[in-house]
Structure 1
Amino acid sequence: MVVVDAAGRAMEGNAAAREALGVGRDGLPVLPGWLTGPGLTHAASGQVGDRFFSAHPTVLDSGTSAWWLIEETGHRRTSDELRLHRGDTAFLTEASGVLLASLNLQRSMESAARLAAEHLADAAVVIAPGRARRLPLVVCDQDGVLSTGKLEEAPSAVPGLAEALEGFPPLPARWIDPAGAPAWMVPEGFGAVGSVSVAPLPGHGVAAGALVLLRRAERPAFDEREEELGRLFAARAGAAMSAARLYEEQDAITRVLMRELLAPELVQVRGVEFAGGYRSSEDAEQIGGDFYDVHPAADEDGETFALLGDVAGKGLEAAVLTGKIRNTLHALRTLAADHQQVLTLLNDTLLARSGPMRFATLVLASARREGSDVVLRLTSAGHPTPLIVRGDGRVEEAETSGSLIGAMAQISSRTVTVRLAPGESCVLYTDGVTEARGGRRGNVIYGEERLHRLLEGCAGMPAQAVVERVQMAAAQWVGKGEHDDIAVMAITAPRSHHLTAVDGTTRGRYTA
């Protein structure tokens, strides 16, 4: 406590006040500037040396005041640390949201560099590992401008960088000489570098890269708290970049596999029209258990081998077996003159595979042109019966039947020959069409009768138009409800006369 007169001068003080404020020549406490001056009657606070105090007055007689000093150094430092901690937490929360907003590796690197330059340093460099010698990098300069490039020099030229790219713990910033920062690291117009911090970007089991922070010479060097904040940010940036890299790798693998599993685009082959359409059971997926293929014959007079099938189940697991069946039938296409032999060999292949038993149903079709007609040999293996759309609108069922594939050691089948006049079609489909549930009540099966009536109106249509008509009807019937995989193929005898065949697989030119 210190007593102050009306003019704001110290009159006396106890031992604690003398120790805290110091003593002048007159032996009285030395008042700090924020506690001097006449007429001061309200509470005040300020600093004395490296200590903080608050002062609270009690007015005495004759205008004198007794000031009670309370030290708040610990409280002030705790408050400052809490404020810094809250700011750091808010920054890391914001950074996590921004970094995880994209699964694109380049955008993740750019976001990490921009956030680091804005909140942690004056400029930042993000370097990602790569299989090539030149590593990709992103630089964010002092103005927030991003630039991308490749690291031309060896990472070992910068202390701690090679280790960071390998995932080793970072070196303290004070161990790195800022004068040794290479030109590729320092943005143009940055000026003298005052301090450099290098931290690894930890990923999922492997390092996702390195983060380099730069500060100008006029700013204080990185302290321990800032280095720790940089490491916490680097952990989040590394997780985001690692997830983006993993996604890109899986996406690349998926694209390669999808090219093999997706239904092919069908065209006219040797004067016979082929068209196909597919819709998976899940709109977000492009592959499933239904499939079709067309394999042109090696010679001009040979039969074109076509097939449509349905694997038990749906989704990716069914698609994998679909790919195996398609590849097997592609290898067996040279034996297509004997459908029974093809089905037997395929059945043996499926029974020999490991894993849970999955069966499939198929329709094989061998087509050739005879004059203006198309002659088809059809063989069903446990599949819905092919439908023949005649020129007068009649819809006939092809009299073929057989055992499903992949369930029994011995199978049987019946092959039937059908002749299509110009404008007539053979429609192959999976049960996803006839078993589609929808309609007004939402649970009515589409059924074979509706499909027959629909196809009666498809007489004379090109193959692609027939397929689109069936697909549209099924989609409208189902609406937004769930459905199984749907596949449709139409084989049509063209109404026109064939003039030229380019290579046996393209449309060629026709005239009416």
Structure 2
Amino acid sequence: MVTVSSWLRSPCPALVVDTSGAVHGMNDAARSLLPNDVLPHDWRHGESVHVAERTFAAHRVDHEDGSITWWLLDETELLLERERAALLAQMSSDLMTSLNPERCMTVVAGLAAAHLADEVLVIAPPSADGHPVTRCRRGEEPTYELRHVDVEEVIGLSEALRGFPPVPSRWIDPSAAPEWLADDVASIVVTPLPGHGVPAGALILMRRSEQFTEDEEAFARLFASRAGVAISAASLFTQQAVITERLTRDLLPPALRRYAHVELAGRYRASGATERVGGDFYDVHELPDDRLFVVLGDVCGKGLDAAAQTGKVRTAVHALLQVVTDHDQVLHALNQALLTTDESRFITTVVGTVTPVEEGLHVRLTSGGHLPPLIVRANGEVEVAATKGTLVGILESIITATDEVVLAPGDSCLLYTDGITEAHGGPLGDEEFGEERLRRALKDCGGMPAEALAEHVHMLAAQWVGEGAHDDMAVLAITAPRKRSA
């Protein structure tokens, strides 16, 4: 129910007409519109009436005594509000088209120059190289640069960059604007770009011949609120993407360098089609006297959790090798390290020390619950390394057995995880690739370079599973190079 006092104070014109059609009462807004208390001549010609070159939509409220209260809504203002609402909706849609901060700032500047001002600056919080600044003049393409600017030279800019409310444009003297901002402008609006918890920057609007009205400043703040959210979302996404990329890089198997006395090649494939990391890993560490310490392993589990544990294991092995290189001591220390963590995960692993000798390569191999490496001779014979041991990270004490083999030129040692042998696929999609099938395939790989051997095994397993689900896969090939003729 509308009380008399409330409708009298309403900014919307309202008048009461009795049953005879005479005006019985008006509020102040209607009286200023109709100073002579005279209804316009087209009053009864429909819902729209015209007064002083303005068009109003008339909405009636009937009363029990037959009188009617008419509320007059300015159609010009309604149309403007509808246009602005549609414009904000379109702007919001355009702002969400990019998750790149620089691109997002460019979109903000372009939209503001097209609809709000003659010239626009979007300024982001400073980095070590200066403030990211995007400038756009109406009808031109936005430009982006990193620039060192004195934000104190523009009234309200330093406050806007810290997220404080904007100062009215009438407080800003355009003639005092610094040269880097603009010249020959009539009005300047500086408003913050609010972000997710922290300011996303500031928006500066400039006009060359007209002043900004209070209504236009209010609309600019609405636009800035949406623009700030878009820029902030793009910045957060970029930060998270950079962090993820750096962490993922450390969790992925390393790129293997070339050595004069040994060929190395590795292949890795995570279990998920959309994942880059998982629980399988391999590493190669350089030791004195041209020796190499190799390690390949499989952490219990899949996905990101397993990858995180893989990172811990790889870091622990790297640290242990600074003080001890004996296989048993490394595996026992690693076992104790895993037992003292809160993780309920264990690993299987095989470690090896590769030493160049006159005959080719001397390789010591020790397994911690892992599949034994396979020795592929140059003539196609395949041998199983005589090493075995208990899982690492479950028992207080582990048992290991070490095997030593010599690789003649053209011979290879293949380390692999069970993602290869336990890969399900084949004609019916439910058969394991198996160790026996792997050994038969390796008979045709005698004398292959390490790169070709690792790629061939990886390809066989990938073809076997096809599009089906599979575990993480890792392969590491160690080959004694063939001697070149003088």
Normalising by structure 2, report the TM-score.
Answer: 0.83
**1:173 positional shift:** 2.6
Q: Is the 8 A contact 1:424 1:459 kept in 2?
A: yes
Gaps of 5+ in 2: 1-20, 24-30, 58-68
Q: Structure 1 residues 125 and 272 mapped into 2: Cα distance closer, same or farther (>3 Å)?
A: same
**1:97 positional shift:** 2.3
**1:81 positional shift:** 3.3
Name the amino acid aligned to 1:49.
A
Q: What is the distance in 2 between the residues matched to 1:21 and 1:330?
A: 88
Q: Which of 191, 195, 200 lines up with 1:203 in the alignment?
A: 195
**1:414 positional shift:** 0.5
User: Which residue of 1 is the match for residue 475 of structure 2?
Assistant: 488
Q: Structure 1 residues 50 and 349 mapped into 2: Cα distance closer, same or farther (>3 Å)?
A: same
Specify the structure having the higher radius of gyration (Cα). 1
Q: What is the distance in 1 between the residues matched to 2:431 and 2:179?
A: 72
1:99-142 deviation digits (Å, cap 9, x = unpaired): 22222111111111111111222221100002438322111112
**1:337 positional shift:** 5.1
Q: Structure 1 residues 151 and 461 mapped into 2: Cα distance closer, same or farther (>3 Å)?
A: closer
**1:362 positional shift:** 0.6
**1:495 positional shift:** 1.9
**1:52 positional shift:** 4.4
Residue 264 (structure 2) pairs with residue 290 (structure 1): no
Name the amino acid aligned to 2:433.
Y
Query: Aligned with 1:207: secondary structure?
Result: coil
Q: Structure 1 residues 104 and 52 mapped into 2: Cα distance closer, same or farther (>3 Å)?
A: closer
Aligned-residue Cα RMSD (Å) equals 3.2
Q: Which of 336, 341, 351 lines up with 2:339 in the alignment?
A: 351
Q: What is the distance in 1 between the residues matched to 2:152 and 2:129?
A: 13
1:408-444 deviation digits (Å, cap 9, x = unpaired): 2111100011122221211110111111222233333
**1:215 positional shift:** 1.9
Q: Is the 8 A contact 1:196 1:214 kept in 2?
A: yes
1:173-225 deviation digits (Å, cap 9, x = unpaired): 333333333332227xxxx42322111111111111001111221x352332x
User: Which residue of 2 is the match for residue 106 of structure 1?
Assistant: 102
Counting matched residue pairs gives 449
Q: Is the 8 A contact 1:52 1:73 kept in 2?
A: no
1:133-180 deviation digits (Å, cap 9, x = unpaired): 832211111223312334544212212111110101112233333333
Q: Structure 1 residues 447 and 176 mapped into 2: Cα distance closer, same or farther (>3 Å)?
A: same
Q: Is the 8 A contact 2:129 2:146 kept in 1?
A: no
Q: Structure 1 residues 171 and 493 mapped into 2: Cα distance closer, same or farther (>3 Å)?
A: same
User: Which residue of 2 is the match for residue 49 of structure 1?
Assistant: 52
Residue 243 (structure 2) pairs with residue 253 (structure 1): yes
Q: Structure 1 residues 329 and 197 mapped into 2: Cα distance closer, same or farther (>3 Å)?
A: same
Query: Aligned with 2:135: secondary structure?
Result: strand
Q: More displaced, 311-320 or 344-353?
A: 311-320
User: Which residue of 2 is the match for residue 333 of structure 1?
Assistant: 321
Q: Is the 8 A contact 2:55 2:76 kept in 1?
A: no
Q: What is the distance in 2 between the residues matched to 1:387 and 1:496?
A: 22
Name the amino acid aligned to 1:271.
H
Name the amino acid aligned to 1:307.
V
**1:350 positional shift:** 1.6
Q: What is the distance in 1 between the residues matched to 2:76 and 2:97?
A: 32
**1:256 positional shift:** 3.2
Q: What is the distance in 2 between the residues matched to 1:402 and 1:323?
A: 22
Q: What is the distance in 2 between the residues matched to 1:15 and 1:108?
A: 58
Q: Is the 8 A contact 1:269 1:296 kept in 2?
A: no
Name the amino acid aligned to 1:312.
C
Q: Structure 1 residues 376 and 238 mapped into 2: Cα distance closer, same or farther (>3 Å)?
A: same
Normalising by structure 1, report the TM-score.
Answer: 0.79
User: Which residue of 2 is the match for residue 158 of structure 1?
Assistant: 154
Q: Which of 296, 306, 322 lines up with 2:310 in the alignment?
A: 322
Query: Aligned with 2:445: secondary structure?
Result: coil
Gaps of 5+ in 1: 1-13, 24-28, 35-41, 55-70, 498-510
Name the amino acid aligned to 1:146.
P
Q: Is the 8 A contact 1:428 1:489 kept in 2?
A: yes
Q: Structure 1 residues 404 and 149 mapped into 2: Cα distance closer, same or farther (>3 Å)?
A: same
User: Which residue of 2 is the match for residue 140 of structure 1?
Assistant: 136
User: Which residue of 2 is the match for residue 116 of structure 1?
Assistant: 112
Query: Aligned with 1:282: secondary structure?
Result: coil
Query: Aligned with 1:496: secondary structure?
Result: coil
- Residue correspondence of structure 1 range 262-277 to structure 2 within 5 A: 262-269=252-259, 271-277=261-267
Name the amino acid aligned to 2:375.
I
Query: Aligned with 1:293: secondary structure?
Result: strand
Percent identity between matched residues is 49
Name the amino acid aligned to 2:309.
L
1:442-483 deviation digits (Å, cap 9, x = unpaired): 333222122112211111101110000011111112222222
